[in-house]
Chain A
Amino acid sequence: MFDLERWQEIFDTIRKNKLRTFLTGVSVASGIFILVILLGFGQGMQNGIAREFEEDASTSVWVWPGVTSKEFKGLNPGRRIQLRNENFEYAGAIYREEIEYQSPRYFVNNVQINYGKESLAYGIQGISDNFQFIENAKMVEGRFINAQDLSNTAKVAVIGRKIKKDVFKEIDSPIGEFITVSGIPFKIIGVYGETEEREEERIYIPINTAQKVFNGADRINNMAYTLPPAENFDEAVAQAVAFKEGLRSYLQQTHTVAPDDTSAIQVWSALEEAKRYFSLTGNIKFFFWFVGICTIIAGVVGVSNIMLIVVKERTREIGIRKALGAKPWSIIGMILHEAIFITTISGFTGFIFSMGLLEILGPHVEVDYVVNPSVNFNVALAMVLVLVIAGTVAGFFPAWRAAHIHTIDALRDE
């Protein structure tokens, strides 16, 4: 390996057989390149999907009422289900142990929102103090609605960062400013931020205020919960499913809904969805690995093929060298040394190019479901080594055979 004479001999050979060297190199480098890019995108998809789920608390459970689709106990299908405060309170009482945070929601409709003379077109939702944790909203300025606002039916509002950017761009802080909702003034007490802009286009007010001021009586539009963290993912999913089923059957009973009517009461659990998506990303990752490994195998076959041709092409030369006194092992060594040298250099070239591409372009990739495609350095490096070793092993057999061909046969090879 450290024999200078051998290196000179190999550099001579490489320099004088540029096309052969180039073709071998390209096949190895492109194999590594494709593999790294593929693995990078697999990782990018996983990152992207993980980001989608950062928006809400990962253990959140949401309840929407809908329209019955089945006849039950003499009631016709097509009946709209309306959730009420008592449903929320009762559910909160029976699942006291299981719930971490809970909040009802009331959507205020058909109102005119104004800031000074400007008319605003944003949704208003009545929520409770815990909603911040369920939505994973981060306070940018001021505070969120608290328990006191609820008990005082305070006329206060929390706005999203996007609203601040669009409406309150001329003042330093919207805190303390007033907006009017159907003529009733609400004081802005806080600005929240979310990971997605469309979720920053809401105005939150205390639910008690919303129901009283905007004629909501005890109606609520949906209910949101989070569950306490569990030991592991599977346990958390099981917990979420049990809670979801219990909640649904309670609501179905009180609203006289058939137990198999899926459209009347809809309960959505982020964890269950997450599980589906995580198994999907798992499958995608597996797929990319599969394709990647096939690429590597193709690369190995390509390298072996080239080695076979190289050896075949050099049979006569090998015969000459043997006639001049080359020992079998020096022939094998020469061929392998050259093969290892070329595959290593070109393998690392492909490695550096693909890693560089991912490093430079990766952070700028912002397509839906693909975020920051990147690849584990060690994994990619291991792939290069695998290819080099495979190329060596693949080159060994033809080299071995070539070194043991009868010298006369080798010399007759035209």
Chain B
Amino acid sequence: MIEIKDLHKSYKMGSNSLHVLKGINFKVEEGELVAIMGSSGSGKSTLLNILGMLDEADSGSYDLDGIPIKNLNETKAANYRNKFLGFIFQSFNLINYKTALENVALPLYYQKMPRKQRQEKAMKYLEQVGLKEWSHHLPSELSGGQKQRVAIARAMVAEPKVLLADELTGALDSTTSYEVMELIQNINDQGNTILVVTHEPDIAQMCKRIVHLKDGVIVKDEKIKQVRAKAHV
């Protein structure tokens, strides 16, 4: 599904150049649940941003489902993001003046789906994350865990090829984290490809594969025995 070869990325900080990714090679198959682990500054967020087409690599190649991702203009990148990728962020990034339902329906608006159809589909996904009753509440009226579920529903609603989650449990307590991870595992069980960036080992243990990143290179790439989140809830 994802194939990355010799990816390099550096940031300019004034006159200094900070080399963040120093040649990353890795491959993700369809249906995988991969954790990308590393301490802060290891380059894991940068890698995710490049995978999410929110940032561009300096060199190297990136294929998504056989489509080479390079020399994207903003419009094309927006199109790919809308169709192929779903994002889940640490800080939820819900639009605060829109209700849960409207937030979930937003990616469909950018697919030019009619309003009614949009809302039906959004409602279906809200139901899947167990928030049907909360559909008309604003984000400020929801708990952290509920907000993250809305964000997951929003990431899922466009039926993307890959879900990208950036520290999705970073702002949640451990019980809520496990609930959210259970949801992620369920979605993965349905055959969706998910990449989770985290620095929490217990969250990483709930994935099927862990990629360890340190100082911009992959130091370890291991398949693990998945810990079901359900056991902890």
Judge whether A5 and B115 touch: CB under 8 Å.
yes
- Alpha-carbon distance A8/B115, docked complex (angstroms): 9
Instruction: A16 to B110: give the CA distance in the assembly, Å.
Output: 20
Knowing A12-B102, A407-B54, A408-B55 are in contact, say whether A325-B93 is a contact too (CB < 8 A): no
Knowing A5-B109, A325-B110, say if A12 contacts B79 (CB, 8 Å). Answer: no
Partner of B158, one of A17, A322, A325, A411: A325
- In the complex the two chains form, what is the Cα distance from A320 to B78 in whole Å? 12
Whether A80 is near chain B, meaning CB under 8 Å from some CB there, is no
Interface check B147, CB cutoff 8 A: no
Pick from A8, A317, A403, A406: contact of B95, CB under 8 Å: A317
Which A-chain residue is minimally distant from B110 (CB atoms)? A325
Taken residue by residue from 65 to 89, chain B's Cβ proximity to chain A (1 for < 8 Å, 0 otherwise) reads as 0000000001100110111000101
Number of A-B contacts (CB under 8 A): 68
A324 interface residue per 8 A CB criterion: yes
When C-beta atoms are compared, the residue in chain B nearest to A4 turns out to be: B115
Determine which of B82, B95, B98, B114 lies in contact with A325 in the assembled complex, contact meaning CB atoms within 8 Å.
B82
In the complex, what residue of chain A is closest to B53 when comparing beta carbons?
A407
Extra pairs beyond A8-B115, A323-B81, A324-B87 (9, CB < 8 Å): A9-B109, A12-B97, A321-B95, A321-B106, A324-B107, A325-B78, A325-B158, A326-B78, A328-B78
Q: Is the CB of A320 within 8 A of B95?
A: yes
A385-414 interface (Cβ within 8 A of B): 403-404, 406-408, 411
- Assess whether B112 is interfacial by the CB under 8 Å rule: yes
Is the CB of B49 closer than 8 A to any CB of chain A?
yes
Assembly CA distance A8 to B106 (angstroms): 12
Q: Chain A 285-321, CB within 8 Å of chain B: the 1/0 string?
A: 0000000000000000000000000000000110111
B158 touches A408 (CB 8 A): no
Can you identify 14 A-B contacts, CB atoms within 8 angstroms? A5-B115, A16-B97, A16-B98, A320-B95, A321-B106, A321-B110, A323-B81, A323-B93, A324-B87, A324-B154, A325-B83, A327-B78, A406-B54, A408-B55
- In whole angstroms, what is the CA distance A7 to B179 when docked? 38
- Select from chain B the residue with minimum beta-carbon distance to A329: B75
Nearest first, the 6 closest Cβ-Cβ pairs linking A and B are: A325-B82, A16-B97, A325-B110, A327-B78, A407-B54, A324-B107
Cβ of A330 under 8 Å from chain B: yes
Interface string of B94-108 (1 = CB under 8 A from A): 110110001000110
Q: How many residues of B contact A (CB 8 A)?
A: 29
Interface residues on A, range: 20 to 34
Which A residue's beta carbon lies closest to that of B157?
A324
B43 at the interface (CB under 8 A from A): no
Which chain A residues border B112 with CB–CB below 8 Å? 5
A146 near B: Cβ within 8 Å?
Answer: no
Instruction: Select from chain A the residue with minimum beta-carbon distance to B113.
Output: A5
B52 located at the interface, meaning its Cβ lies under 8 Å from any Cβ of chain A in the complex: yes
- CB-CB under 8 A from B111, the residues of chain A are 325
Complex-state Cα separation, A244 to B82, whole angstroms: 86
Nearest A residue (CB) for B91: A411
The answer, among A316, A328, A330, A411, for a CB contact under 8 Å with B110, is A330
- Which A residues from 1 to 36 make CB contacts under 8 A with B? 5, 8-9, 12-13, 16-17
- The chain B residue sitting closest to A3, CB to CB, is B112
Q: A321-B106, A327-B78 are in contact. Are A316 and B115 (CB under 8 A)?
A: no
Is A408 a contact of B109 with CB atoms below 8 Å? no
Expressed in whole angstroms, the Cα–Cα distance for A319 and B107 within the complex equals 13
A5 to B82, CA, bound (A): 18
Chain B neighbourhood of A329, CB < 8 A:
75
B residues less than 8 Å from A325 (CB atoms) = 78-79, 81-83, 107, 110-111, 158
Whether A320 lies near B97 (C-beta < 8 A) is no
Find out whether the CB atom of B106 lies under 8 angstroms from the CB atom of A411: no
